Structure 1
Amino acid sequence: MRFGYIGINYKNAPLDIRDKTSFTDVDKIDFFQNAEKIGIEQCMILSTCNRSEVYFLYRKAEEKEAVKKLYLDTFQEVQLKDLLLTLDGNEAIEYLFRIAAGLESLVLGEDQILGQVKDALEFSKAMGYSGKEMNKIVRDAVTCAKKIKTELKISERPLSVSYVGIQQLEKVCQIEGKTVLVIGSGKTSTLALHYLYEYGAGNVMICSRTTAHAKELLQEFPQLTVVEFEQRYQIMEKCDIVVSATSAPHVIVRADELVTDHSITFLDLAAPRDIDTALQGRENVTILNLDFLSKIVENNQKERERLVEISKGMIQEATEETKEWLLSSRMDSTIESLQLRCDEIVQDSYEYLNRKIEFSAREQKIIKKVLNASLHRLLREPIQELKQLDTREKQDKYQEIVKELFQI
């Protein structure tokens, strides 16, 4: 049995194509059932905003081609023929391991994909399309990913400027319980609000040139206080922290208009800058801006890339064990057939002896155990040899020999 992969992802297909190749749960069930008709008994679908991928186990080359045709037929309205990526055997296994570890993600080393892989397997199992082999391969990939995340902590090197900025704020002035003003109500400001509350900010206020837009954030952050943009200087006199992320073409916090006699830390997430650099000269003012934060993000990206190289070695080691297991499992059916043939001979011999000789109940048990142990002992060494065959060619050869010798 071989492991195969077919699909598209953000690297080889644009967003409009990925949108049209997303699998709903109903689509997945239909695909599983159609795959079963062409001989594919084990199949898993990983469908996210960045990928639409099918993992499957097959026996014959024509089955693999049939899965490809099934994928194309599932999305007939989309031109996919030149976009589809297919992988086979060891390459497919290694790819799944990299997927689970976040090494194939848009954000290098992200954690969300691991949960998505686990969910994909659980769905496949629930529908009855994941057996021993699929379970083993995916679980090994998940275990390896968890080890990488625990030991290397790739995702703890943030690449979001907003998150890095809040982290630096925490180091400079500790956010918990502090009074904060957020200027701007766009995506960057919204992200900053999430992180500020995550770090335990106290009284958080927001102002924006468009007050209605700022008020929309109350649905997501009901504890937030919306203030008028024109009042920003008066509000800042009471604040410990100011986070600014507007799209204004000029500074919106001018040094000559801000009067404050207490310490205040500015996080300027805007480009061009929102905060007047002249404020940096004041003893009670600290400014963190994009130039400073971008260097941290750049260093984090380089560190992630270094850790990724280490994780590749960990994946290679882990996949070797999975590959060996999958290879040896090809002989399971042959070994099982041998053991069943052995059990049949034991039963036939026991029934013959029991008809010819009158045994007590105790003697019947002993005779059956001795017959069983003797025949299985005879098969023990051959079975061990079958398990250790290290190439498909040898396995195929020995399977034919066993079938011929034992008539199974």
Structure 2
Amino acid sequence: MKLLLLGINHNSAPLSLRERVAFVPEQIHLALQDGVASGLGEELAILSTCNRTEIYALAGGDAEVCEQQLLDWLARFHHVDRDQLRDCCYISSDSQALQHMMEVAAGLDSMVLGEPQILGQMKSAYALAAEAGTAGAAMNQLFSQVFSVAKQVRTDTAIGENPVSVAYAAVSLTQHVFSDLGKCSALLIGAGETIELVARHLRDKGIRRIVIANRTLERARKLGEEFQAEAVMLSDIPQYLCDADILVASTASQLPILGKGAVEAALKKRKHRPMVMVDIAVPRDIEPQVAELDDVYLYTVDDLREIVDENKRARESEARKADQMIVEALEGWQARLRSRDAVDTIKDYRAKAERLRDAELERALRQLAKGEDASAVLEQLARGLTNKLIHSPTTQIKEAGAKGRSDLVGWARELLQLRDRDN
């Protein structure tokens, strides 16, 4: 089976397209099973984050045909124009695809170089595939190798020191407007890992008040307890919006949670004091039209690039070390795959030799049972076994020589460990 990868990310496509092909958690199980049923591969996994959607498939057959099937399926599943999607996708296979997976897991392909969240997201992607029954033994080996390399990068390089995540970048953006966060109130929409990181960074910056709004109040309360924040339902957002100087949204909603009208009403109550809104979600949680309002500074994940680029420059030397680790890990993986092919050949050759041995031994035992001279029987056993063991190799070497295949003859001398005749 071949490993195939089809993806779209923050480097290849704008947010407006990325959000259309993103998979919400509730879709993944259905999408995986539909993908396998559609013939995308024998094993399948899907990674979908705010910055990327990637499909990993183990499939037989022609690689180019399988790649086109992946593209067709993704376009059909999300009702996206195939040609538009094709222009923004990247496709790779086998070692190139595995190398990309390693780079993603290690945070080398992230918008924020070295960000740690992506490894957990990849682990979740594999766990969901295993749960859906679309990841078997082969996919397990691939992801195990990927996770092992990512762990090594985290352990042996400083790429994860002083981590700068999308959440950190979001909080940094708010300080462009509010120099003293100790006087500010923040409304966080969602209660996932990203919002948890945002809350932690805001607390470290001394934010005065945090309100967490979530679809599930229990989850919001659990997070609120950790950060001394108030927990509310999504339906309560209009009530708290007017007090929010900072709003950060990151949910898995397929539709916008916050519209222009609600924000406009909140601004009037605030007497047009400025608001900073950072929409990290894909698809977006905040209607793009909100950016048209005066006194609102609306940022999306694509607006974090300046902070991200600064982070990249600080970590480039560590990234080069990580790149070398990935190259070495990939070479080791390829060597093990080649060794498996050799092991199969060795097993087959040994089995053949053992069959020849057993046949000659059986003949010798029959001769001894008849009372024939033991020395003569042993001599014939040794001669017969030798002749049968070298028959196939010598026949093939003669044929290679007759055809002028000196390269094969040379390889045979090397394999059989024969000294050069000139020595």
**TM-score (norm: length of structure 1):** 0.52
Q: What amino acid maps onto 1:221 in structure 2?
A: G
Alignment CA distance shift 1:347-1:78 (3 Å)? farther
> Which of 83, 104, 107 is the aligned partner of 1:99?
104
Structure 1 residue 93: Cα displacement? 2.2
Q: What amino acid maps onto 1:206 in structure 2?
A: R
Any unmatched runs of 5+ in structure 2? 175-180, 190-194, 212-219, 232-244, 248-266, 275-294, 296-305, 370-384, 394-407, 413-423
Q: What CA distance in whole angstroms lies between the structure 1 residues aligned with 2:128 and 2:159?
A: 28
Structure 1 residue 49: Cα displacement? 3.5
Q: What CA distance in whole angstroms lies between the structure 2 residues aligned with 1:162 and 1:101?
A: 21
Q: What CA distance in whole angstroms lies between the structure 2 residues aligned with 1:114 and 1:332?
A: 33
1:68 aligns with 2:72: no
Q: What amino acid maps onto 1:150 in structure 2?
A: T
Alignment CA distance shift 1:66-1:224 (3 Å)? closer
Alignment CA distance shift 1:300-1:200 (3 Å)? closer
| Residue aligning to 2:81 | 79
Q: What CA distance in whole angstroms lies between the structure 1 residues aligned with 2:364 and 2:7?
A: 60
1:158 aligns with 2:164: yes
Alignment CA distance shift 1:346-1:308 (3 Å)? same
Q: What CA distance in whole angstroms lies between the structure 2 residues aligned with 1:44 and 1:194?
A: 31
> Which of 147, 151, 163 is the aligned partner of 1:146?
151
Q: What amino acid maps onto 1:183 in structure 2?
A: C
Q: What CA distance in whole angstroms lies between the structure 1 residues aligned with 2:107 and 2:201?
A: 26
Q: Deviations over 1:293-312 (max 9, x none)?
A: xx998764421233223322
1:206 aligns with 2:209: yes
Alignment CA distance shift 1:9-1:340 (3 Å)? farther
Q: What CA distance in whole angstroms lies between the structure 1 residues aligned with 2:54 and 2:230?
A: 44
Alignment of 1:339-350 (within 5 A): 339=350, 341=352
Q: Is the 8 A contact 2:112 2:164 kept in 1?
A: no
| Residue aligning to 1:31 | 35
| Residue aligning to 2:329 | 318
Alignment CA distance shift 1:185-1:198 (3 Å)? closer
Secondary structure of the residue aligned to 1:153 is coil
Alignment CA distance shift 1:339-1:109 (3 Å)? same
Q: What amino acid maps onto 2:209 in structure 1?
A: I
Q: What amino acid maps onto 1:80 in structure 2?
A: R
Q: What CA distance in whole angstroms lies between the structure 1 residues aligned with 2:184 and 2:5?
A: 48
Corresponding pairs, count = 290
Q: What amino acid maps onto 1:115 in structure 2?
A: G
Secondary structure of the residue aligned to 1:307 is helix
Q: Is the 8 A contact 1:4 1:86 kept in 2?
A: yes
Alignment CA distance shift 1:335-1:46 (3 Å)? farther
1:131 aligns with 2:137: yes
Any unmatched runs of 5+ in structure 1? 167-179, 209-217, 227-243, 252-271, 273-294, 359-373, 383-396, 402-408
Secondary structure of the residue aligned to 1:143 is helix
Structure 1 residue 11: Cα displacement? 2.4
Q: Is the 8 A contact 2:45 2:57 kept in 1?
A: yes
Q: What CA distance in whole angstroms lies between the structure 2 residues aligned with 1:137 and 1:339?
A: 30
Q: What CA distance in whole angstroms lies between the structure 2 residues aligned with 1:336 and 1:128?
A: 31
Secondary structure of the residue aligned to 2:224 is coil
Q: What amino acid maps onto 2:336 in structure 1?
A: W
1:327 aligns with 2:332: no
**TM-score (norm: length of structure 2):** 0.51
Structure 1 residue 143: Cα displacement? 1.5
Q: What CA distance in whole angstroms lies between the structure 1 residues aligned with 2:44 and 2:346?
A: 25
Q: What amino acid maps onto 2:137 in structure 1?
A: G
Structure 1 residue 146: Cα displacement? 1.1
| Residue aligning to 1:221 | 224
Q: What CA distance in whole angstroms lies between the structure 1 residues aligned with 2:135 and 2:364?
A: 45
| Residue aligning to 1:5 | 5
Alignment CA distance shift 1:349-1:121 (3 Å)? farther
Q: What CA distance in whole angstroms lies between the structure 1 residues aligned with 2:173 and 2:55?
A: 39
Q: What CA distance in whole angstroms lies between the structure 2 residues aligned with 1:101 and 1:71?
A: 26
Q: What CA distance in whole angstroms lies between the structure 2 residues aligned with 1:330 and 1:6?
A: 27
Q: Deviations over 1:175-218 (max 9, x none)?
A: xxxxx954233459x889822796698xx85399xxxxxxxxx9
| Residue aligning to 1:117 | 122
Structure 1 residue 69: Cα displacement? 1.5
> Which of 83, 87, 108 is the aligned partner of 2:113?
108
| Residue aligning to 1:89 | 94
Q: Is the 8 A contact 1:164 1:297 kept in 2?
A: no
Q: Is the 8 A contact 1:162 1:192 kept in 2?
A: no
Q: What amino acid maps onto 2:339 in structure 1?
A: S
Alignment CA distance shift 1:326-1:192 (3 Å)? closer
Q: What CA distance in whole angstroms lies between the structure 2 residues aligned with 1:332 and 1:33?
A: 34
Alignment of 1:251-270 (within 5 A): none
Q: Deviations over 1:327-382 (max 9, x none)?
A: 33344544454455556667777888899999xxxxxxxxxxxxxxx99xx79xx9
| Residue aligning to 1:406 | none
Structure 1 residue 104: Cα displacement? 1.3
CA RMSD of superposed structures (Å): 5.3
Q: What CA distance in whole angstroms lies between the structure 1 residues aligned with 2:36 and 2:359?
A: 42
Structure 1 residue 97: Cα displacement? 1.2
Q: Is the 8 A contact 1:100 1:142 kept in 2?
A: yes
| Residue aligning to 1:54 | 55
Q: What CA distance in whole angstroms lies between the structure 1 residues aligned with 2:70 and 2:169?
A: 43
Q: What amino acid maps onto 2:109 in structure 1?
A: E
Structure 1 residue 27: Cα displacement? 1.4
